Protein backbone atom coordinates (compact mmCIF):
# COMPACT_ATOMS: atom_id res chain seq x y z
CA UNK A 1 0.00 0.00 0.00
CA UNK A 2 2.78 2.39 0.91
CA UNK A 3 5.45 1.13 -1.44
CA UNK A 4 6.75 3.94 -3.56
CA UNK A 5 6.52 6.48 -0.76
CA UNK A 6 9.11 9.05 -1.75
CA UNK A 7 11.16 10.78 0.90
CA UNK A 8 12.84 13.26 -1.37
CA UNK A 9 11.52 14.97 -4.49
CA UNK A 10 12.86 14.23 -7.95
CA UNK A 11 15.30 16.78 -9.36
CA UNK A 12 13.76 17.58 -12.73
CA UNK A 13 15.22 20.96 -13.61
CA UNK A 14 18.64 22.53 -13.93
CA UNK A 15 18.13 24.60 -10.79
CA UNK A 16 16.67 21.81 -8.63
CA UNK A 17 20.13 20.56 -7.73
CA UNK A 18 21.23 24.09 -6.76
CA UNK A 19 18.25 24.49 -4.45
CA UNK A 20 18.85 21.05 -2.95
CA UNK A 21 22.55 21.75 -2.36
CA UNK A 22 21.63 24.86 -0.39
CA UNK A 23 18.95 22.90 1.46
CA UNK A 24 21.47 20.25 2.51
CA UNK A 25 23.96 22.89 3.59
CA UNK A 26 21.36 24.52 5.86
CA UNK A 27 20.35 21.06 7.05
CA UNK A 28 23.95 20.27 7.99
CA UNK A 29 24.35 23.57 9.86
CA UNK A 30 21.04 23.35 11.72
CA UNK A 31 21.38 19.67 12.54
CA UNK A 32 24.84 20.29 14.02
CA UNK A 33 23.49 23.09 16.20
CA UNK A 34 20.45 21.05 17.23
CA UNK A 35 22.55 18.02 18.16
CA UNK A 36 25.12 20.13 19.99
CA UNK A 37 22.54 21.97 22.11
CA UNK A 38 20.52 18.82 22.77
CA UNK A 39 23.60 16.91 23.92
CA UNK A 40 24.68 19.81 26.14
CA UNK A 41 21.21 20.12 27.71
CA UNK A 42 20.87 16.39 28.35
CA UNK A 43 24.44 16.07 29.61
CA UNK A 44 24.14 18.99 32.05
CA UNK A 45 20.66 17.89 33.17
CA UNK A 46 22.00 14.43 34.00
CA UNK A 47 25.38 15.43 35.39
CA UNK A 48 24.14 18.16 37.70
CA UNK A 49 20.82 16.68 38.68
CA UNK A 50 20.00 16.48 42.36
CA UNK A 51 17.17 15.14 44.45
CA UNK A 52 17.85 17.56 47.24
CA UNK A 53 15.56 20.57 46.85
CA UNK A 54 17.73 22.69 49.14
CA UNK A 55 20.95 22.33 47.22
CA UNK A 56 21.91 25.35 45.16
CA UNK A 57 23.86 25.79 41.95
CA UNK A 58 27.18 27.52 41.44
CA UNK A 59 27.27 31.30 41.48
CA UNK A 60 27.78 31.98 37.77
CA UNK A 61 26.27 35.07 36.20
CA UNK A 62 27.51 34.87 32.66
CA UNK A 63 30.43 35.49 30.40
CA UNK A 64 30.79 38.33 27.95
CA UNK A 65 33.21 36.44 25.66
CA UNK A 66 30.78 33.53 25.44
CA UNK A 67 27.84 35.85 24.71
CA UNK A 68 29.81 37.57 21.97
CA UNK A 69 30.92 34.23 20.56
CA UNK A 70 27.45 32.77 20.33
CA UNK A 71 26.06 35.99 18.87
CA UNK A 72 28.74 36.65 16.28
CA UNK A 73 29.45 33.12 15.07
CA UNK A 74 25.79 32.31 14.32
CA UNK A 75 25.46 35.70 12.65
CA UNK A 76 28.40 34.95 10.36
CA UNK A 77 26.97 31.53 9.55
CA UNK A 78 23.59 33.05 8.69
CA UNK A 79 25.36 35.57 6.44
CA UNK A 80 26.84 32.67 4.49
CA UNK A 81 23.37 31.13 4.15
CA UNK A 82 21.91 34.51 3.20
CA UNK A 83 24.41 35.20 0.42
CA UNK A 84 24.20 31.69 -0.98
CA UNK A 85 20.40 31.68 -0.89
CA UNK A 86 20.24 35.13 -2.50
CA UNK A 87 22.32 33.77 -5.37
CA UNK A 88 20.01 30.80 -5.87
CA UNK A 89 17.04 33.17 -5.63
CA UNK A 90 18.42 35.41 -8.39
CA UNK A 91 18.85 32.37 -10.59
CA UNK A 92 15.27 31.32 -9.89
CA UNK A 93 13.91 34.81 -10.59
CA UNK A 94 15.91 35.68 -13.70
CA UNK A 95 15.33 33.60 -16.81
CA UNK A 96 18.09 33.34 -19.42
CA UNK A 97 17.87 35.40 -22.61
CA UNK A 98 16.21 32.93 -24.93
CA UNK A 99 13.19 31.24 -23.43
CA UNK A 100 10.27 29.33 -24.81
CA UNK A 101 7.27 31.51 -23.99
CA UNK A 102 4.06 30.08 -22.57
CA UNK A 103 1.08 32.00 -21.25
CA UNK A 104 -1.23 30.76 -18.53
CA UNK A 105 -4.22 31.84 -16.54
CA UNK A 106 -5.34 30.47 -13.21
CA UNK A 107 -9.00 30.45 -12.35
CA UNK A 108 -10.96 28.55 -9.81
CA UNK A 109 -10.05 25.71 -10.10
CA UNK A 110 -7.95 25.10 -13.18
CA UNK A 111 -4.82 26.19 -14.99
CA UNK A 112 -5.12 27.03 -18.67
CA UNK A 113 -1.92 27.13 -20.69
CA UNK A 114 -1.57 28.77 -24.10
CA UNK A 115 1.30 27.99 -26.42
CA UNK A 116 2.40 30.53 -28.98
CA UNK A 117 1.42 28.34 -31.91
CA UNK A 118 -2.14 28.27 -30.68
CA UNK A 119 -2.21 25.03 -28.72
CA UNK A 120 -3.98 25.36 -25.43
CA UNK A 121 -4.34 22.84 -22.64
CA UNK A 122 -5.95 22.65 -19.23
CA UNK A 123 -4.14 21.34 -16.13
CA UNK A 124 -1.47 19.87 -18.36
CA UNK A 125 1.62 21.55 -19.62
CA UNK A 126 3.80 19.97 -22.30
CA UNK A 127 7.34 21.28 -22.40
CA UNK A 128 10.54 20.14 -24.07
CA UNK A 129 13.47 18.97 -21.98
CA UNK A 130 16.69 20.93 -22.09
CA UNK A 131 15.22 24.25 -23.16
CA UNK A 132 14.48 27.20 -20.86
CA UNK A 133 10.74 27.77 -20.54
CA UNK A 134 9.16 30.89 -19.18
CA UNK A 135 5.51 30.87 -18.14
CA UNK A 136 3.82 34.26 -17.91
CA UNK A 137 0.56 34.08 -16.01
CA UNK A 138 -2.13 35.84 -14.09
CA UNK A 139 -5.32 34.97 -12.29
CA UNK A 140 -8.84 35.66 -13.42
CA UNK A 141 -10.32 35.66 -9.92
CA UNK A 142 -8.49 35.16 -6.60
CA UNK A 143 -4.89 34.42 -5.70
CA UNK A 144 -3.39 31.15 -6.89
CA UNK A 145 0.17 29.95 -6.96
CA UNK A 146 1.83 27.98 -9.74
CA UNK A 147 4.04 25.40 -8.06
CA UNK A 148 6.30 22.84 -9.75
CA UNK A 149 7.90 20.86 -6.88
CA UNK A 150 10.16 18.91 -9.23
CA UNK A 151 11.54 22.21 -10.55
CA UNK A 152 11.73 23.78 -7.03
CA UNK A 153 9.92 26.88 -8.17
CA UNK A 154 6.63 28.65 -7.72
CA UNK A 155 5.04 32.08 -7.97
CA UNK A 156 1.70 33.48 -6.93
CA UNK A 157 -0.87 34.17 -9.64
CA UNK A 158 -2.18 37.61 -8.77
CA UNK A 159 -5.26 39.09 -10.45
CA UNK A 160 -4.34 42.36 -12.08
CA UNK A 161 -0.71 41.63 -12.82
CA UNK A 162 1.60 39.18 -14.51
CA UNK A 163 3.87 36.77 -12.70
CA UNK A 164 6.47 34.50 -14.22
CA UNK A 165 8.21 31.27 -13.42
CA UNK A 166 10.97 29.76 -15.51
CA UNK A 167 12.74 26.43 -15.59
CA UNK A 168 14.82 24.21 -17.82
CA UNK A 169 13.37 20.75 -17.39
CA UNK A 170 15.86 17.90 -17.36
CA UNK A 171 13.91 14.76 -16.48
CA UNK A 172 11.55 13.47 -19.15
CA UNK A 173 8.28 12.35 -17.58
CA UNK A 174 5.25 13.66 -15.72
CA UNK A 175 5.68 15.86 -12.67
CA UNK A 176 3.21 17.50 -10.29
CA UNK A 177 1.72 20.91 -10.84
CA UNK A 178 0.00 22.26 -7.72
CA UNK A 179 -1.90 25.38 -6.80
CA UNK A 180 -0.07 26.41 -3.64
CA UNK A 181 -2.08 29.47 -2.64
CA UNK A 182 -5.42 28.70 -1.02
CA UNK A 183 -8.23 29.62 -3.41
CA UNK A 184 -11.44 28.16 -1.99
CA UNK A 185 -13.53 25.03 -2.22
CA UNK A 186 -11.60 22.96 -4.72
CA UNK A 187 -8.12 24.36 -4.00
CA UNK A 188 -6.67 20.87 -3.64
CA UNK A 189 -8.27 19.91 -6.98
CA UNK A 190 -6.46 22.69 -8.81
CA UNK A 191 -3.65 20.31 -9.68
CA UNK A 192 -2.21 19.03 -12.88
CA UNK A 193 0.97 17.81 -14.40
CA UNK A 194 3.84 19.14 -16.37
CA UNK A 195 4.82 16.68 -19.07
CA UNK A 196 8.47 16.93 -19.98
CA UNK A 197 9.17 15.50 -23.44
CA UNK A 198 12.31 15.10 -25.41
CA UNK A 199 12.51 17.88 -28.01
CA UNK A 200 11.55 15.72 -31.00
CA UNK A 201 8.50 14.30 -29.24
CA UNK A 202 7.60 17.82 -28.18
CA UNK A 203 7.74 19.09 -31.76
CA UNK A 204 5.46 16.30 -32.91
CA UNK A 205 3.13 16.98 -30.00
CA UNK A 206 2.98 20.63 -31.11
CA UNK A 207 2.18 19.77 -34.71
CA UNK A 208 -0.39 17.21 -33.65
CA UNK A 209 -2.27 19.72 -31.51
CA UNK A 210 -2.43 22.82 -33.65
CA UNK A 211 -5.28 25.03 -32.52
CA UNK A 212 -7.00 27.80 -34.39
CA UNK A 213 -3.94 29.71 -35.52
CA UNK A 214 -1.11 31.12 -33.48
CA UNK A 215 -1.61 33.21 -30.39
CA UNK A 216 -0.25 36.27 -32.17
CA UNK A 217 -2.62 35.69 -35.09
CA UNK A 218 -5.51 35.53 -32.65
CA UNK A 219 -4.20 38.77 -31.16
CA UNK A 220 -4.10 40.38 -34.59
CA UNK A 221 -7.68 39.33 -35.18
CA UNK A 222 -8.70 40.86 -31.84
CA UNK A 223 -6.65 43.98 -32.62
CA UNK A 224 -8.92 44.53 -35.57
CA UNK A 225 -12.16 43.40 -33.93
CA UNK A 226 -11.66 45.77 -31.01
CA UNK A 227 -10.72 48.55 -33.45
CA UNK A 228 -7.33 49.04 -31.81
CA UNK A 229 -5.89 49.48 -35.30
CA UNK A 230 -7.86 52.65 -35.98
CA UNK A 231 -5.55 54.59 -33.63
CA UNK A 232 -2.49 52.35 -33.30
CA UNK A 233 -1.37 52.37 -36.89
CA UNK A 234 0.99 49.78 -38.24
CA UNK A 235 3.42 52.42 -39.42
CA UNK A 236 4.19 55.85 -38.07
CA UNK A 237 2.61 57.60 -35.09
CA UNK A 238 -1.08 58.28 -35.52
CA UNK A 239 -2.71 61.47 -34.25
CA UNK A 240 -4.42 59.64 -31.36
CA UNK A 241 -2.02 56.89 -30.41
CA UNK A 242 1.51 55.64 -31.01
CA UNK A 243 2.29 52.88 -33.44
CA UNK A 244 3.05 49.69 -31.56
CA UNK A 245 5.55 48.42 -34.09
CA UNK A 246 8.97 47.81 -32.50
CA UNK A 247 7.66 49.00 -29.14
CA UNK A 248 8.03 45.79 -27.20
CA UNK A 249 11.20 45.73 -25.14
CA UNK A 250 11.89 49.41 -25.85
CA UNK A 251 11.87 52.24 -23.34
CA UNK A 252 8.90 54.59 -23.63
CA UNK A 253 8.69 58.14 -22.29
CA UNK A 254 5.56 58.84 -20.33
CA UNK A 255 3.51 61.99 -20.07
CA UNK A 256 4.66 62.51 -16.51
CA UNK A 257 8.31 62.42 -17.55
CA UNK A 258 9.07 58.92 -16.30
CA UNK A 259 10.19 56.15 -18.60
CA UNK A 260 8.94 52.62 -18.67
CA UNK A 261 10.23 49.53 -20.42
CA UNK A 262 7.46 48.02 -22.50
CA UNK A 263 7.03 44.49 -21.17
CA UNK A 264 4.07 42.13 -20.92
CA UNK A 265 2.82 43.79 -17.75
CA UNK A 266 2.94 47.27 -19.28
CA UNK A 267 1.08 46.22 -22.40
CA UNK A 268 -1.55 44.50 -20.27
CA UNK A 269 -1.94 47.55 -18.07
CA UNK A 270 -2.19 49.83 -21.09
CA UNK A 271 -5.07 47.78 -22.48
CA UNK A 272 -7.01 47.57 -19.23
CA UNK A 273 -6.01 50.87 -17.61
CA UNK A 274 -4.83 53.08 -20.49
CA UNK A 275 -4.58 56.21 -18.37
CA UNK A 276 -2.29 54.67 -15.76
CA UNK A 277 0.94 55.24 -17.69
CA UNK A 278 0.18 57.51 -20.61
CA UNK A 279 2.82 57.86 -23.32
CA UNK A 280 4.20 61.40 -23.70
CA UNK A 281 2.65 63.45 -26.47
CA UNK A 282 -0.77 61.79 -26.49
CA UNK A 283 -4.12 62.75 -25.05
CA UNK A 284 -5.85 60.34 -22.62
CA UNK A 285 -8.38 59.30 -25.26
CA UNK A 286 -8.19 55.54 -25.12
CA UNK A 287 -11.16 53.81 -23.45
CA UNK A 288 -10.52 51.10 -20.91
CA UNK A 289 -11.02 47.52 -21.94
CA UNK A 290 -11.40 46.35 -18.36
CA UNK A 291 -14.15 43.74 -18.28
CA UNK A 292 -14.38 43.68 -22.09
CA UNK A 293 -11.38 41.49 -22.83
CA UNK A 294 -10.67 38.25 -21.03
CA UNK A 295 -7.22 37.65 -19.58
CA UNK A 296 -6.65 35.01 -22.26
CA UNK A 297 -7.44 37.50 -25.01
CA UNK A 298 -5.26 40.12 -23.35
CA UNK A 299 -2.43 37.60 -23.56
CA UNK A 300 -3.14 37.12 -27.27
CA UNK A 301 -3.00 40.89 -27.74
CA UNK A 302 0.23 41.10 -25.77
CA UNK A 303 1.72 38.40 -27.93
CA UNK A 304 0.58 40.25 -31.06
CA UNK A 305 2.24 43.45 -29.85
CA UNK A 306 5.41 41.44 -29.17
CA UNK A 307 5.30 40.11 -32.72
CA UNK A 308 5.19 43.60 -34.27
CA UNK A 309 8.87 43.76 -35.05
CA UNK A 310 10.43 45.03 -38.22
CA UNK A 311 14.05 45.26 -39.14
CA UNK A 312 15.02 48.73 -40.33
CA UNK A 313 14.50 49.00 -44.05
CA UNK A 314 12.42 45.86 -44.26
CA UNK A 315 8.84 45.97 -45.39
CA UNK A 316 6.30 46.31 -42.66
CA UNK A 317 4.77 42.95 -43.36
CA UNK A 318 8.10 41.18 -43.55
CA UNK A 319 7.58 39.27 -40.34
CA UNK A 320 4.33 37.45 -40.35
CA UNK A 321 3.12 36.68 -36.84
CA UNK A 322 2.53 33.05 -37.78
CA UNK A 323 6.23 32.40 -38.09
CA UNK A 324 7.39 29.84 -35.56
CA UNK A 325 10.41 32.05 -34.82
CA UNK A 326 8.10 34.18 -32.70
CA UNK A 327 7.88 31.34 -30.21
CA UNK A 328 11.21 32.45 -28.87
CA UNK A 329 11.18 35.98 -27.61
CA UNK A 330 14.19 37.94 -26.50
CA UNK A 331 14.10 38.90 -22.86
CA UNK A 332 15.22 42.11 -21.41
CA UNK A 333 16.91 41.58 -18.09
CA UNK A 334 14.29 42.47 -15.54
79 lies in the binding site for other proteins (CB under 8 A): yes
* Least distance (Å) between residue 116 CB and other proteins: 24
Pairing of strands 110-115, 98-107: antiparallel
What is d(CA 88, CA 302) in angstroms, rounded to the nearest whole number? 30
**DSSP structure string for 90-119:** HHHHS--SEEEEEEEEEETTEEEEEETTS-
Residues 271-310 that bind other proteins (CB under 8 A): none
Q: Which residues have a Cβ under 8 Å from the Cβ of 332 and sit 6 or more positions away?
A: 249, 261, 263
Q: Which residues have a Cβ under 8 Å from the Cβ of 317 and sit 6 or more positions away?
A: none
**How many residues bind to other proteins according to rule CB under 8 A?**
92
Among 86, 251, 261, 285, contact with other proteins (rule: CB under 8 A): 86
Name the residue nearer to other proteins (CB basis): 92 or 127. Answer: 92
Exposed/middle/buried for residue 59 (C-beta within 10 Å: 0-12, 13-18, 19+): exposed
Phi, psi (rounded to 5 degrees) for 6: -80, 150
CA-derived radius of gyration, the chain: 27
48 lies in the binding site for other proteins (CB under 8 A): yes
Residues 98-157 that bind other proteins (CB under 8 A): 108, 141-143, 145, 147, 149-150, 152-156
Given the rule CB under 8 A, which of 84-92, 212-220, 235-243, 307-315 is the region that contacts other proteins? 84-92
Name the residue nearer to other proteins (CB basis): 13 or 99. Answer: 13
* Least distance (Å) between residue 161 CB and other proteins: 7
Given the rule CB under 8 A, which of 35-43, 127-135, 236-244, 245-253 is the region that contacts other proteins? 35-43
Among 96, 98, 122, 188, contact with other proteins (rule: CB under 8 A): 188
179 lies in the binding site for other proteins (CB under 8 A): yes
Amino acid sequence: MFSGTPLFPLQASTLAADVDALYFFILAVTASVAILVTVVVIYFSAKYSTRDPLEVGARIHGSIPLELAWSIIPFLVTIVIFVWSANVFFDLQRPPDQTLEIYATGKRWMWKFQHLDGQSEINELHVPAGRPVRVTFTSEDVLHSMFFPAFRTKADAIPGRYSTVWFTATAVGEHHLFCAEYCGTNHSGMVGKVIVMDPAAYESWLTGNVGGGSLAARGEQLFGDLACNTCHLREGPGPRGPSLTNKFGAAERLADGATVVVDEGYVRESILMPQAKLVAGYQPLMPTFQGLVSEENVMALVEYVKSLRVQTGAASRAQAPEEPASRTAPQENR
